[in-house]
Amino acid sequence: MTPGIGPRAAAKLLERFGSAKAVYSATRAELEQLRLVPEAVDSIIARDLQARAEAEITAVRKVGGDILLLDDGVYPSSLREIYDPPIVLYVKGAWSECLDQPCIGVVGSRKCSTYGQNAAMMLSRDLAQRGVTVVSGFARGIDAAAHRGALESGGRTVAVLGTGIDEVYPRDHKRLAAEILDGGGALVSQFPLGTPPVSENFPYRNRIISGLSLGVLVVEASEMSGSLITARLALEQNREVWAVPGNITSRNSFGTNYLIKGAGAKLVQQWQDIATELPPQIAANLLPPPFGEKREKSLADKLQFVPEGLSRTETCVFRLLAPDSRVHIDSLVAQSKLGMSELTAALLALEMRELIRVLPGRCFVRKL
């Protein structure tokens, strides 16, 4: 909000003067001793910062958000620990409740495979069921699957944005943003209201994802994926890094397989692989006791799940589909014994509820 003052200059000011209020009262000579750019000194000396800050706070509250400052007691402690943390955080939703729980970042490719999408949903759902807040970047692909997996379990998820909290990007994620807020989740950004989706903003977003989290899970990523930047930031911030092994013939798995092979990431096949690497006091609340608990359901058991509210025809079609295994429409006609018009109507209803995906060649696959 202040010309010429980025996160590092703001941190320098707070360290020197102790509070934002004291910065407002500083003399030009005191400010110039910190070797700030002239534009920053002029802006502070103009003494209009408080009025501008109050106007920004009013605007944020109009959209249902709030502003956290680095020197606030409510600023996320894990984020405060990182090098060069954002001075200002814009938040919307149940951010305090979300960040009071253990947080795990889940990231990956925008152009993900069905395998990657299902893995992200399954692992995020299993973690969220056990009280973990799933933190991701609200992008298409793995990020969206992670948010949806957490929501399906009734758990919490935080979307870290590369825009202002009043800007939904991608545009087709408006419904997802509403579901995150309605489900007790939150939107978080370091960017002021009205900030559009600019490419240089997204590395800053990645830094917040890892900074809020105990560790980062990379589900699927090529060797050039921005998710590897998030993994590197997590390592620099002394966080855990996990990765889901991928198809060795797919370029979309080169990044995750490299993390496991050459960068020290822990291989993840199920949620317990993450829980066992967490601090003991946190893991104890997530892991089942060694005796007396029922066996974890297998993937086959989980596939028996049928969402509520489906018609008999929709239930029949839903049961014929499986994740990571495409089924052609001709096969569905033969197995379901339904007419083409009735089958098409059921498939459309399932797609509208985001329970299935339509693939090229008139094939369909179920989402976990």
Domain co-membership, 106 together with 227: yes
On whether the CB atoms of residues 170 and 164 are closer than 8 A, the answer is no
Tell me, what's the pLDDT at 101?
Answer: 95
Contact indicator for 106, 124 with CB cutoff of 8 Å: yes
Give the residue numbers spanning the domain of 151. 95-286
Q: Which of 226, 259, 286 is the last residue of a domain?
A: 286
Q: How far from 365 is each of 52, 139, 161, 320, 346, CA to CA, in Å?
A: 51, 21, 29, 10, 14
Residue 76 lies in a domain: no
**Quick one: pLDDT band at residue 3, thresholds 50, 70, 90?**
low
Within a domain: residue 55? no
One domain for residues 281 and 324: no
- Give the pLDDT score at 292: 41
**Looking at the domain assignment, is residue 66 inside a domain?**
no
| pLDDT of res. 45 | 66
pLDDT at 224 over 70: yes
For position 40, what pLDDT does the model report?
67
Tell me, yes or no, whether 109 and 230 share the same domain: yes
- 116 inside domain: yes
In tens, the pLDDT along 342-366 reads 999 999 999 888 888 888 788 888 8
CB 80 within 8 A of CB 70: yes
Q: What is the pLDDT of residue 149?
A: 95
Q: What number of other Cβ atoms are within 10 A of residue 195's Cβ?
A: 19
Both 20 and 160 in one domain: the answer is no
Q: Do residue 133 and residue 276 come from a single domain?
A: yes
Q: Residues 270, 330: one domain? A: no
Give the whole-number percent of the chain exceeding pLDDT 70. 86
Residue 221 counted as domain residue: yes
108 and 241: one domain? Answer: yes
Beta bridge partners of residue 135, listed in sequence order: 105, 158
Same domain as 246, residue 112: yes
Do the domain assignments include residue 100? yes
Alpha carbons 172 and 176: distance in angstroms, whole number: 8
CA–CA separation, 75 vs 89, rounded Å? 8
Gap between the Cα atoms of 114 and 119, Å rounded: 8
CB 36 within 8 A of CB 63: no
DSSP 297: P
Place of tokens 């960040």: 99
Quick check: helix, strand or coil at residue 176? helix
* Phi, psi (degrees; rounded to nearest 5) at 157: -145, 145
Beta strands in the chain (DSSP E): 65-69, 88-93, 103-107, 133-136, 157-160, 186-189, 215-218, 240-243, 266-267, 327-328, 356-359, 363-366
- pLDDT tops 60 at residue 303: no
Q: 194 φ, ψ to 5°?
A: 85, 0
**Mean local confidence (pLDDT), 84-103:** 94
- Residue closest to 162 by CA, chosen among 146, 173, 151, 154: 173
Query: What are the pLDDT digits (tens) for 11-57?
Result: 677 777 776 667 766 777 777 777 766 776 666 666 566 677 788 88
Query: For the residues 98-102, what does the mean pLDDT come to?
Result: 95
Instruction: State the DSSP string of 232-272.
Output: HHHHHTT-EEEE----TT-GGGHHHHHHHHHS-PEE-SSHH
Q: Cβ contacts of residue 66 below 8 Å, gap of 6+?
A: 60, 90, 91, 92, 95
The confidence score (pLDDT) of residue 322 equals: 79
Q: Are residues 242 and 104 in the same domain?
A: yes
- Indicate whether 111 and 215 sit together in one domain: yes
Residue 115, CA distances (Å) to 2, 111, 118, 230, 326 in order: 45, 12, 5, 21, 11
Q: Among all chains, which residue has been given the structure tokens 């892991």?
A: 287
CA atoms within 13 A on the CB side of 122: 23
- The model's pTM is 0.72
Q: Do 246 and 153 have their domain in common?
A: yes
pLDDT tens across 166-201, in order? 999 999 999 999 999 999 999 999 999 999 999 888
Whether 218 and 263 have beta carbons less than 8 Å apart is answered as no
Which has the minimum average pLDDT: 69-83, 135-149, 248-262, 286-300? Answer: 286-300
Residues 195 and 231 in one domain: yes
- Which comes out higher in pLDDT, residue 223 or 147? 147
Contact 8, 48 (CB under 8 A): no
